[in-house]
């Protein structure tokens, strides 16, 4: 059985540097003293902590969740005490801190009660999705999109093919390769569960052909499993085959329309590590609290893969792998193409941390002007015109960048990699993208303000009108009073009658009048008599 | 002679009818240019331009009574957009109307000091301050446009300007030019 | 308040090739044809080449200094060297020194730096300089010499070479019309081509380059060699040279077929004059040509068509420089209208749509492949 493969435009053959971290087996990282768990490790809404400082938590216990649809709950990676919920350094290109839950581990690693499921085939797709959601599983390939959403095809959508992404096209990263080698059965079980959750016909597992051991392990496990819905497809090693839309094109020949999702072409795509996490969550009931992380790079003494609890500071991983600590080193989270530099190594490993790349800072080469060589265009997997995007982004002509489909850019970095003028193209695109998002937020805000201002003006206007109406009525009354018209006199008399009647009605029995002292009684009497004379006076006035 | 007059008269009639029809058929409600200008303005309603809010300023620009460089909150971006829309040459911000702010700000009321005079509530163009007479007031941060119009009326000076902090969600990649310039400045 | 750092975005790795290397590779590809030019026309050709380059580099340095740009940094990219080199190859080999110097200055100052330097120029600097020189000094730019092969009895010595470059030469001794000019004068005088062809160099000599002409343009063989090297190195693509040569050849074939006595054939057009150098080295200039493959084909075909039209009916015997410059002016337009189909879009830029039916058929197709 040979699967017919397709090609996407452009791409690069990169030196893969993968062998260096694949020599050793995956080792579990020792339990750190403190775990720092950011409240946002996924795309979507930030979680709210559901625990308080001082509370003891068990391994696997829910510690943060959100009511928003696009979100994933977070669980305690080990047992211990919550010592703080505060802003800590996190892995983010901005280098800014963010809210984290800090757990002081107690070393017991005591599990909370789990709900394993021996036979998942009994579970309905809804239940499976619900459990995947509750386990806090997000896309482990790097994007971190909550997985249960991608397992929900939506009304009227039929999933033809489930694709498991084992391409791992970025250089250096080997965590998925090691996972497929070490736990092929779990990956395949995950595939079966996902097939059931999305009710897909078959599943293709795409693995780049520079990982023969992983392919062999999967094939061996598949033979034992004997599930003819699943097929393992070796694919050519071209960066960025691991991009979701690129992989779909390679495996099925289908192009996902822009602004649409793979589901619209009948495909659902998940990472192999996500599949393994789904299997663990459904079969053993374990939430996502650890992952494989590749620690590698020229500055690492013993590059290998570690099984790391979420929340472990990156520094401890580097120490574990004998990182050289020289000043001009930098640590990148992710691969060399799409990763970003982590400024503060106290930042913890999160659900999407697939690789720590420790290497010498590249010499910053001054950018020359673009000579329009067109190499960027030739390598662009989205078939964009990177140089046009660059010019418009540089000129801050954001509308033009959208004309040239900036948002179809997947930021794979091929263009910047080949640019002979060393122009930081991806940086320009990221700048333009965040600038456009900010502008849209601003636009929403200003529209909102305009609405509120218009409402404010309307309110003032209404008030003015009401005031004027009142004044006009008063004036009318006055005019009537002045004019000797009988009708008006009658009307005034009738109004006064009404007032009198109202006053009479209001003269209810006085309260608290029992047990009054004589002095009090005398005072009251005096007041009453005064009031009477006054009302008589006014009555006389009326008569005139 | 007569034919020429007749032809001209008929032509005039035909074109007149045509224009009349076009006026009805392609009638445009309101002032579309003013609407477009208003859409560009930042809607802080701060009045720094010399008009009573963004809409009056937009109408003034549309009528040619005001220049495009009188909006300090909008800064360079608004001037460029307006220049683009109106086909004018962009020009620097008119300093008479104030300086552009780099950082977005909102105001907060120091609730300890507030005497509940309601003067700020009346000054707020977007009704972003809540409170009643003799009761403490507070600013709805999400609705505040940073116009600072509430500050002068406050008799006890309890309203303060605070910058809107960047979050991970609102963080923007800095322009590469700035980054390159910064690194070059650090490593000469 | 948080401090905002200025991160540098990825990728954190980079391919080896730089702008300077691209320029160096193109220059390297020019070496065989240049060496052949020196061999064919002797010391004066070398002097001309050297003077053009020196004057171009000096003007580049001065203009960079005036513009307050880092002089050595930009000189190092090799683009001024390349422009001057290409210009020198299109000049008559025994042209006087001031043609070389003026050419270098015009190419760099008017052709490149006034547009804002490298990457910004609308026209090919070498061609701009050549056209300015041709219009200003038509006599000097159309005075050709018969090949004076180095080592041959008529080849000028080093000293004689200097004399020729700086003092000029007596025209009648060695002068000769270029093949294109010769054909043009004879045909317009009413002579038939069949009688004329016997006076022409043999097709082999024309292919190898043993004929009078510009310093580096005569040898089609060496230029093709360099061009293929550039295509192999992925610096240029085949689109522009192929389209340019094909369109000239096609027009020549049609016209020759219609009237063989008046219009010369395709082989002659492809080996004479500057079309080979133009197709592989000048029209393919990265800065001034379109970037998409289809755009390149349109650009190349336009160049080729114009070359034929100018050669056959225009006011000059050779039209490569004019043709390339005219198409350079079209480049922004071509780039605006010819855009690739972006992933997930239809060609017009709207999103792909998948109707139920098409999706189904796609599935069927796929299952067939299974």
Chains that touch A (3 or more CB pairs under 8 A): B, C
| Binned average pLDDT, 10 residues per bin, chain C of 370 residues | 51 86 93 93 91 95 90 87 94 91 95 90 94 92 83 78 78 69 80 77 82 87 94 93 96 92 88 91 93 94 95 87 95 91 77 49 36
Does residue B132 sit in the same domain as residue B163? yes
Question: Domain check: are B106 and B88 in the same one?
Answer: no
Subunits with at least 3 CB pairs below 8 A relative to chain C?
Answer: A, B
Give me the domain span that covers residue B59: 32-97
- Chain B partners of A428 at a C-beta cutoff of 8 Å? 176
- Residue A501, number of CB atoms within 10 A of its CB: 10
At residue A105, the pLDDT reads: 93
Whole-number CA gyration radius for chain A: 36
The last residue of a domain, from among B97, B129, B148: B97
A512-532 in b/e burial notation, b at 16+ Cβ within 10 A?
eeeeeeeeeeeeeeeeeeeee
Do residues A65 and A1 touch, judged by C-beta distance below 8 A? no
Specify the pLDDT at position C367.
Answer: 35
Pair A197, A263: CB distance under 8 Å: no
If one counts every other C-beta atom within 10 angstroms of the C-beta of residue C270, the result is: 20
Q: Are residues B119 and B90 in the same domain?
A: no
Across the interface, whether the CB atoms of B127 and A452 are under 8 A apart is answered yes
Return the H-helix or E-strand segment holding C187.
Answer: helix C179-188
**Of the partner residues B43, B171, B183, the one whose CB lies closest to the CB of residue A453:** B43
For residue B68, tell me if it sits in a domain.
yes
* Contact between residue A425 and residue A384 where contact means Cβ atoms under 8 Å apart: no
Residue in C12, C19, C351 nearest the CB of A421? C19
Instruction: Provide the residue count of chain C.
Output: 370
Cβ neighbours of residue C149 closer than 8 Å, sequence gap 6 or more = C39, C40, C42, C155
Contacts of C74 in chain A (CB under 8 A): 368
Claim to verify: residue B85 and residue B130 sit in the same structural domain: no
Interface residues from chain A to B (CB-CB < 8 Å)? 40, 90, 92-94, 96, 98, 364, 366-367, 394, 396, 424, 427-428, 430-431, 433-435, 437-438, 441-442, 445-450, 452-453, 455-457, 459
Contacts of C289 in chain A (CB under 8 A): 372
Contact yes or no for B182 and C2 at CB 8 A: no
Do both B162 and B136 map to the same domain? yes
Identify the closest residue of chain A to B128 by CA–CA distance: A452
Residues C67, C116: Cα–Cα separation, whole Å? 9
Residue C11: cis peptide before it, omega within 30 degrees of 0: yes
Report residue A317 as tokens.
């991983």
Same domain, residue pair B82 and B106: no
Cβ contact A245:A262 at 8 Å: yes
Burial A373-410 (b: 16+ CB within 10 A, else e): bbbbbbbbbbbbbbbbbbbbbbeebbebbeebbbebbb
CA C294 to chain A, closest CA, distance in angstroms equals: 13
Rg (CA), chain B: 25
* Chain B CA closest to residue C6: B179
Contacts of C10 in chain A (CB under 8 A): 332, 334, 336-340, 413, 416, 426
Query: What HEC string does C79-116 produce?
Result: HHHHHHHHHHHHCCCCCCHHHHHHHHHHHHHHCCHHHC
- How many interface pairs between B and C have CB atoms less than 8 angstroms apart? 19
Domain boundary among the residues B41, B69, B97 is at B97
Radius of gyration of chain C from Cα atoms? 24
Same-domain check for residues B120 and B166: yes
Running along chain A, 544 residues long, what does each successive block of 10 average in pLDDT?
A: 82 90 88 92 89 92 91 93 93 89 91 88 90 93 88 86 92 93 93 92 93 93 91 93 92 89 91 94 93 92 91 91 82 92 91 92 79 91 92 88 91 92 92 91 88 88 92 88 67 81 68 69 79 62 43
B4 within a domain of the structure (yes/no) = no
Q: How is A397-437 classified by DSSP, letter by letter?
A: -HHHHHHTTGGG-----HHHHH-TT---HHHHHHHHHHHHH
In angstroms, rounded to a whole number, what is the distance separating the alpha carbons of residues B44 and A450?
A: 8
- Indicate whether B178 belongs to any domain: no
CA distance A314 to chain B (A): 20
**The tokens 């093919």 sit on which residue?**
A161
Angle between helices A175-182 and A272-279 (to 10 degrees): 50
Residues 151-170 of chain B with CB under 8 A from chain C are: 163, 165-166
Does the beta-carbon distance from C6 to B179 stay under 8 Å? yes
- Taking the C-alpha atoms of residue C341 and residue C327, their distance in angstroms, rounded to an integer, is 24
C8 and B163 in contact by Cβ < 8 A? no
- Whether A392 contacts A339, CB under 8 Å: no
Q: Which two tokens stand for residue A311?
A: 């929340």
Is B167 in the same domain as B141?
yes
pLDDT at res. A4: 84
Residue B81 lies in a domain: yes
3-state secondary structure of C36: helix
Q: How far is CA A64 from CA A133, A278, B28, in A?
A: 13, 19, 54
Residue B19 included in any domain: no
Return the pLDDT at A512.
63
Domain-ending residue, one of B50, B80, B97? B97
CB pair distance less than 8 Å for C352 and A96: no
Does B74 lie in the same domain as B56? yes
Residues of A in contact with B43 (CB under 8 A): 445-447, 449-450, 453
List of chain C residues whose C-beta atoms are within 8 Å of the C-beta of residue B168: none
Of A26, A308, A334, A350, nearest to A171 by C-alpha is: A334
Q: Would the CB atoms of B127 and A40 count as touching at under 8 Å? A: no
Spatial separation of the C-alpha atoms in residues A498 and C321, rounded to whole Å: 105
CA-based nearest distance C156→chain A, Å? 40
B77 and B124 part of one domain: no
Q: How far apart are CA B107 and CA B159, in angstroms?
A: 6
Give the integer Cα–Cα distance in Å for C20 and B155: 68
Residue of C nearest to A420 (CA): C18
Residue B69 and residue B109 in one domain: no
Dist CA A150 CA A157 (whole Å): 12
Burial class for B105, CB neighbours closer than 10 Å (0-12, 13-18, 19+): middle
Q: How many helices (H) and strands (E) does chain B have?
A: 6, 4
Residue B186 lies in a domain: no
CATH number of the domain that residue B58 is part of:
1.10.15.40
Kindly report the backbone phi and psi dihedral angles of residue A312, in degrees, each rounded to the nearest multiple of 5, phi listed first: -70, 130
Task: Say how far apart CA A492 and CA A486 lie, in whole Å.
Answer: 10
Residue B129 covered by a domain = yes
CATH number for the domain harbouring residue B118:
3.30.70.20
**What's the token pair of residue B6?**
């007749």
User: In the structure, how many helices (H) and strands (E) does chain C have?
Assistant: 19, 2
Strand A329-333 vs strand A355-360: parallel, antiparallel, or unpaired?
A: antiparallel
B183 to chain C: which residues are within 8 Å by CB? 6, 8
Chain segment B81-124, per-residue pLDDT in tens: 888 888 888 888 888 888 777 778 888 888 888 888 888 888 88
Give the total number of structural domains in chain B. Answer: 2
The per-residue pLDDT for B182 is: 43
Taking CB atoms and an 8 Å limit, are B165 and C7 in contact across chains?
no
Interface of C with A in 281-340 (CB under 8 A): 286-287, 289, 291-292, 335, 339-340
- Nearest chain A residue to C332 by CA distance is A388
Chain A residue numbers with beta carbons less than 8 Å from the beta carbon of B170 are: 438, 441
- Judge whether B167 lies within some domain: yes
Whether residues B93 and B115 share a domain: the answer is no
Residue A428 token pair: 């320009």
Which chains touch B (3+ CB pairs under 8 A)?
Answer: A, C
For chain B positions 45-74, those within 8 Å of chain A (CB to CB) are 45, 53-55
What does residue A164 show for φ and ψ, rounded to 5 degrees? -105, 125
Distance CA A228, CA A225 (A): 9
CB A292 within 8 A of CB A277: no
């Amino acid at each position: 059985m040979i699967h017919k493969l397709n090609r996407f435009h452009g791409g690069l053959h990169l030196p893969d540097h993968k062998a260096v971290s694949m020599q050793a087996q995956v080792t579990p990282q020792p339990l750190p003293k403190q775990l720092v768990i950011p409240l946002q490790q996924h795309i979507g809404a930030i979680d709210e902590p559901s625990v308080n400082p001082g509370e003891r938590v068990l391994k696997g216990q829910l510690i943060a969740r959100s009511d928003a649809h696009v979100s994933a709950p977070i669980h305690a990676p080990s047992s211990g005490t919550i010592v703080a919920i505060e802003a800590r350094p996190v892995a983010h290109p901005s280098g800014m801190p963010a809210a984290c839950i800090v757990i002081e581990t107690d070393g017991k690693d005591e599990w909370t009660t789990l709900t394993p499921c021996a036979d998942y085939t009994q579970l309905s797709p809804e239940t499976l999705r619900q459990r995947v959601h509750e386990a806090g599983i997000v896309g482990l390939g790097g994007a971190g999109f909550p997985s249960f959403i991608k397992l929900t095809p939506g009304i009227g959508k039929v999933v033809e093919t489930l694709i498991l992404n084992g391409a791992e096209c970025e250089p250096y990263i080997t965590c998925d390769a090691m996972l497929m080698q070490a736990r092929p059965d779990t990956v395949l079980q995950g595939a079966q569960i996902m097939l059931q959750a999305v009710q897909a016909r078959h599943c293709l597992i795409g693995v780049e052909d520079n990982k023969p051991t992983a392919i062999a392990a999967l094939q061996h496990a598949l033979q034992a499993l004997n599930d003819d819905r699943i097929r393992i497809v070796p694919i050519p090693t071209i960066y960025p085959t691991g991009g979701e839309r690129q992989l779909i094109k390679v495996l099925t020949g289908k192009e996902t329309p822009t602004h649409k999702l793979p589901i619209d072409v009948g495909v659902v795509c998940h990472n192999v590590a996500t599949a393994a996490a789904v299997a663990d969550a459904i079969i053993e009931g374990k939430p996502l609290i650890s992952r494989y992380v590749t620690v590698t790079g020229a500055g690492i003494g013993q590059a290998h893969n570690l099984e790391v609890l979420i929340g472990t500071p990156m520094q401890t991983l580097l120490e574990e792998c004998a990182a050289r600590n020289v000043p001009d080193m930098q640590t990148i989270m992710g691969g060399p193409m799409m990763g970003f530099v982590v400024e503060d190594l106290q930042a913890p490993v999160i659900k999407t941390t697939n690789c720590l790349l420790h290497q010498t800072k590249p010499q910053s080469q001054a950018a020359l002007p673009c000579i329009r060589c067109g190499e960027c265009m030739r390598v662009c997997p989205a078939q964009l015109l990177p140089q046009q995007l660059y010019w418009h982004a540089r000129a801050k002509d954001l509308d033009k960048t959208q004309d040239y489909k900036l948002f179809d850019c997947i930021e794979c970095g091929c263009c910047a990699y080949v640019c002979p003028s060393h122009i930081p193209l991806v940086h320009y695109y990221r700048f333009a993208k965040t600038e456009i998002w900010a502008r849209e937020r601003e636009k929403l805000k200003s529209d909102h303000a305009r609405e509120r201002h218009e409402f404010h003006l309307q309110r003032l206007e209404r008030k003015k009108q009401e005031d004027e109406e009142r004044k006009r009525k008063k004036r009318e009354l006055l005019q009537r009073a002045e004019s000797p018209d009988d009708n008006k006199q009658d009307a005034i008399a009738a109004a006064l009658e009404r007032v009198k009647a109202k006053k009479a009605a209001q003269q209810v029995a006085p309260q608290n009048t029992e047990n009054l002292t004589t002095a009090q009684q005398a005072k009251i009497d005096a007041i009453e008599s005064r009031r009477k004379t006054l009302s008589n006076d006014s009555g006389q006035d009326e008569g005139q | 002679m007569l034919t020429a007059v007749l032809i001209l008269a008929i032509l005039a009639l035909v074109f007149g009818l045509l224009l009349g029809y076009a006026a009805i058929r392609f009638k445009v409600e309101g002032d579309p240019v003013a609407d477009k200008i208003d859409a560009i303005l930042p809607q802080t309603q701060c009045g720094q331009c010399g008009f009573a809010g963004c809409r009056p300023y937009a109408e003034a620009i549309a009528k040619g009574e005001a220049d495009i460089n009188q909006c300090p909150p909008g800064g360079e971006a608004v001037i460029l957009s307006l220049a683009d829309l109106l086909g004018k040459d962009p020009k620097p911000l008119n300093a008479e109307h104030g300086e552009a702010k780099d950082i977005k700000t909102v105001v907060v009321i120091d609730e300890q000091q507030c005497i509940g005079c309601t003067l700020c509530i009346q000054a707020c163009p977007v009704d972003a301050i809540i409170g009643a007479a003799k009761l403490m007031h507070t600013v709805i941060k999400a609705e505040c446009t940073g116009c600072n119009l509430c500050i002068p009326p406050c008799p006890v000076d309890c309203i303060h300007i605070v910058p809107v902090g960047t979050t991970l969600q609102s963080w923007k990649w800095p322009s590469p030019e700035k980054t390159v310039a910064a690194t070059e400045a650090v490593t000469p | 308040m948080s401090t905002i750092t200025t991160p540098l975005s990825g990728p954190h790795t980079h391919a080896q090739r730089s702008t300077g290397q691209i320029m160096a590779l193109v220059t390297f590809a020019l070496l065989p044809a240049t060496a052949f030019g020196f061999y064919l026309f002797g010391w004066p050709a070398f002097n001309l080449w050297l003077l053009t380059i020196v004057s171009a580099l000096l003007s580049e340095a001065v203009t960079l200094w005036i513009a307050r740009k880092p002089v050595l940094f930009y000189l190092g990219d090799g683009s001024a060297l390349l422009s001057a080199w290409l210009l020198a190859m299109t000049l008559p080999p025994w042209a006087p020194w001031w043609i070389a110097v003026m050419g270098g200055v015009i190419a760099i100052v008017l052709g490149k730096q006034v547009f804002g330097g490298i990457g910004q120029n609308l026209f090919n600097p070498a061609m701009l300089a050549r056209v300015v020189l041709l219009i200003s000094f038509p006599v000097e730019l159309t005075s050709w010499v018969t090949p004076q092969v180095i080592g041959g009895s008529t080849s000028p010595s080093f000293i004689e070479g200097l004399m020729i470059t700086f003092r000029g030469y007596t025209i009648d001794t060695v002068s000769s019309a270029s093949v294109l000019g010769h054909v043009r004068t004879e045909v317009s005088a009413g002579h038939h081509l069949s009688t004329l062809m016997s006076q022409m160099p043999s097709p082999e000599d024309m292919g190898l380059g043993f004929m009078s002409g510009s310093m580096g343009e005569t040898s089609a063989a060496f230029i093709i060699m360099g061009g293929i090297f550039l295509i192999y190195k992925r610096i240029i693509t085949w689109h522009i040279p192929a389209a340019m040569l094909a369109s000239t050849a096609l027009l020549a074939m049609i016209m020759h077929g219609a009237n063989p006595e008046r219009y010369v054939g395709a082989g002659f057009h492809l080996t004479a004059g500057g079309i080979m150098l133009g197709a592989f080295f000048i029209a393919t200039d990265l800065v001034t040509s379109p970037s998409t493959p289809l755009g390149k084909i349109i650009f190349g075909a336009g160049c080729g068509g114009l070359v034929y039209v100018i050669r056959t009916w225009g006011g000059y015997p050779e039209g490569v420089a004019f043709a390339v410059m005219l198409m350079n002016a079209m480049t922004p337009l071509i780039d605006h209208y010819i855009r690739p189909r972006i992933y997930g879009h239809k060609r017009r830029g709207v999103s792909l749509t998948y109707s139920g039916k098409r999706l189904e058929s796609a599935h069927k197709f796929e299952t067939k492949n299974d």
